[in-house]
Amino acid sequence: MAELAVRNLRESILRNSLTTVGISVGVASLVAMLSLGIGLQQLAGRRLQKSGLFDTVVVTSRRDLRGFNREQEENGPSPAESPSLTEDARQKIAQLPNVLEAYPDIRFITEVRYEDKPHLTMMAGLPFSAKNNDAFDGMQGTFFSSETATEVILQKSFAAQLLGKTPKAGGEEASVTELAKPLLGKQLTMRYAERTATPEPESKKEAPADSELANSTGAAYSVVSREAALKIVGVCDLDPDSMRGQARARVFLPLKLAQSLHVMQPSDLRDTTNMTNGTPAYTTVEVHVKSPTQVQPVEDAIKKMGFNTFSIVDATRSLRQFFAVLDLFLGIFGSLALAVASIGIINTLVMAILERRREIGIMKAIGASDSDVKGLFFAEAGVMGVFGGFVGVALGWAIGRVINLGTNVYLKRQHFPPEQIWFVPWWLVLGAIGFAIVVSLLSGLYPASRAARLDPVQALRYE
Amino acid sequence: MPIGESSRQNSIAIRTENLCRHYSMGETVIRAVDGISVQVASGEFVALLGTSGSGKSSLLNLIAGLDRPTAGSVIVQNNDLAKLSREELAKYRLHTVGMVFQSFNLIPSMSLLENVELPLRFAEVDRNKRDGLARQALNRVGLSARSRHRPTELSGGEQQRASLARALINQPQFLLADEPTGNLDSQTGTEIMNFIREFNQGLGMTIIMVTHERALAERYANRMIFLADGKLVGDQSNIVPAGARGVTS
């Protein structure tokens, strides 16, 4: 029957081609809309995933009294009885299932000198794994050469500050390339406060043995002012530390180096009263989880250890919801075009019945049953659907590609890196073709049953 | 050969009982077929004669299962066509009767081969068998050289021969012909009639042919049924003149 249908379609090739083009355009708009929706969703997802927002749990000690939500503080042990975020605790967290790494957050405000001019800034240790963070996509220069290299990466705005180029209000920002050129390879001198262990004072030994103080003797330390020379290896465009808000750093150094410098941390002072041994406690530990879906169980496990946690998974849920709604709307608009196309099919086939009245009459006279005739028209609708579906998917793919290309040209002009905002998954290809066929067959239902009901005597009478 | 004929005329192939087909045109009722009871024996060559509007084509359509009677019945091989479902009626048209029309009724978009093959498609004959059978049928009517041509590229006589091939393809018992020579000149008309007679005598098919040419009926048919205003007005057996054979070629 399909064979017969194809040859019938070939007979009035223009009309049937136009109808098929109608279906194609419908399918194409559906594919283009949905592929853009999916592409945007993936883009956002990729960005968030790369930025580490999705798979990161931020751990703080309850002792900080600055938990991220009140519920945690009310339900957990009292801050005074909860543990400090010590190196031991960090190692325990790192050994939890599905945890990739747990590293301390080391940041401090300090003074750096560049060409003998002092600048005050926030510095932060950056784990080596941050290399893949997409904040470094547009970076000039290189990432740290090793985990303990005495090197720094500057954020663009700080680079501008070092060069004395403050952006004019409303004026265009200087590009990273421009800023990086004079700075790469130069030296920064950093001044910082080093925490060094001091020998136990004699007086402590005589302190009452029952008090906690007896155990916290190791907390004593002295602070020494130091200087370190650091080489500028990179200037990055985006902000790798954007999650930090006010506390975000402008200068980054390798985390291992930062740890080895023993820079005074704000929490050190407070923990002086609680130290159980000589190891320092961290203000914050960042935990990277294998995949965003593992965030919740890891978070729960860490909470059980008596720490406060924070992750952005809740925020992503509404983001995903937003994209689901966006896809739905794009899909509806795409389907509208297909609905118009289906009216085209109905029209074409009804016209074909009028035109082929006699042919239908002949077929019935020589023994075609109602279902034969119905099947023939149905097959014609189906064949148009198949062709329309395939051509439409190709067309939609092309449209998506062109939009993607255009967007990238625009992005390039705005000095943004190119992005893939369009993505055609396999299920969309197959789904769109299937949808086109289903819509075509549904459109063929009425014409086909009308053709089948035709009275052969009537059809053959008029000549 | 009329003797040989008579031996085959024993069993009744088609029987109509008080057959009626009325059409209503607004207020008036047109009685196209009005109470016809007739029997056709197997192997007979029957001519239905009458003026236009006498109901001969309507009667043929009822026998062909293309139309349903308003009243009465058409009984073919003990089956009342009026009681068959649409699907069963289609099967009857496909396997039991072959039809030939005045205007040939070939499908213009298809080649002769495809036209002849069409009933085989409906009969769900295997694709690889269809081609051979269709060629064989075209060969029988002397059109094997024209199998790839479209109907419009052929003469009227050739088209009618192709439609004869199509009517025969499913090896039906009855050939129903509605003015088969009406659109042809007398020379090609004779050619077609000789084929039909060959089907009757050679293949033993029962033929019912509608015509308004009495001379044609007298020359080929062995029975003439006369209709007027939807009623049977005459039924006479006809000894086919032996000379008619000589007219062939």
Q: How confident is the model at residue B247 (pLDDT cuts 50, 70, 90)?
A: very low
pLDDT of residue B10: 60
The partner residues of B21 in beta bridges, in order of sequence, read: B33
SS3 B179: coil
**Count of CB pairs separated by less than 8 Å, A with B:** 65
Whether the per-residue pLDDT at B193 is higher than 50: the answer is yes
- At CB < 8 Å, which residues of chain A contact B? 4, 7-8, 11, 358-359, 361-372, 456-457, 460, 463
pLDDT of residue A77: 61
Q: What is the rounded CA–CA span in Å between residue A375 and residue A369?
A: 10
Which of A382, A364, A269, A274 shows the shortest CA–CA distance to A23? A382
Write down the mean pLDDT value for chain A. Answer: 78
Comparing A278-282, A363-367, B28-32, the range with the smallest average pLDDT is A278-282
Residue B93 forms contact with A (CB below 8 Å): yes
Which of A60, A42, A234 shows the shortest CA–CA distance to A155? A234
Q: What is the rounded CA–CA span in Å between residue A286 and residue A130?
A: 12
Whether the per-residue pLDDT at B196 is higher than 60: the answer is yes
The alpha carbon of residue B240 is apart from the nearest alpha carbon of chain A, in Å, by 30
Residue B109 forms contact with A (CB below 8 Å): yes
Comparing A21-30, B80-89, B195-204, the range with the smallest average pLDDT is A21-30
Q: How many residues does chain B have?
A: 249
pLDDT of residue A53: 65
* Nearest chain A alpha carbon to B99: A366
Q: Give percent of chain A with pLDDT exceeding 70.
A: 79
Chain A residues with CB inside 8 Å of B93's CB?
364-367
Q: How confident is the model at residue A289 (pLDDT cuts 50, 70, 90)?
A: confident
Whether the per-residue pLDDT at B6 is higher than 80: the answer is no
pLDDT in tens, B212-237: 889 999 999 999 999 999 999 999 88
Contact across the interface for B167 and A366, Cβ inside 8 Å: yes
Amino acid symbol at A170: G
Eight-state DSSP code of residue B52: T
Q: In angstroms, what is the C-alpha Rg of chain A?
A: 34
pLDDT of residue A8: 80
Q: Is the dihedral of CA A395, A400, A405, A406 positive or negative?
A: positive
Comparing A110-119, A238-247, A415-424, B98-107, the range with the smallest average pLDDT is A238-247
Whether the per-residue pLDDT at A194 is higher than 90: the answer is no
Contact across the interface for B93 and A364, Cβ inside 8 Å: yes
Q: How many residues does chain A have?
A: 463
The pTM for the full model equals 0.64
Chain A residues with CB inside 8 Å of B166's CB?
366
Residue B91 forms contact with A (CB below 8 Å): yes
Q: How confident is the model at residue A209 (pLDDT cuts 50, 70, 90)?
A: very low
Per the CB < 8 A criterion, the answer to whether B20 and B229 are in contact is no
Q: In angstroms, what is the C-alpha Rg of chain B?
A: 18
Eight-state DSSP code of residue B62: H
- Please classify residue A227 by burial: count the beta carbons closer than 10 Å to its beta carbon, then call 0-12 exposed, 13-18 middle and 19+ buried: exposed
Eight-state DSSP code of residue B171: -
Count CA within 13 A, CB hemisphere, residue A290.
Answer: 9
* Nearest chain B alpha carbon to A12: B109
Contact across the interface for A368 and B87, Cβ inside 8 Å: no
Per the CB < 8 A criterion, the answer to whether B199 and B119 are in contact is no
Contact across the interface for B90 and A368, Cβ inside 8 Å: yes
Comparing A112-126, B6-20, B81-95, the range with the smallest average pLDDT is B6-20
- Give me the interface pTM, i.e. the ipTM: 0.89
B 16-75 → A contacts, CB under 8 A? 61, 64, 66-67
Chain A residues with CB inside 8 Å of B106's CB?
362
Say which residue, A412 or A271, is predicted with more confidence. A412
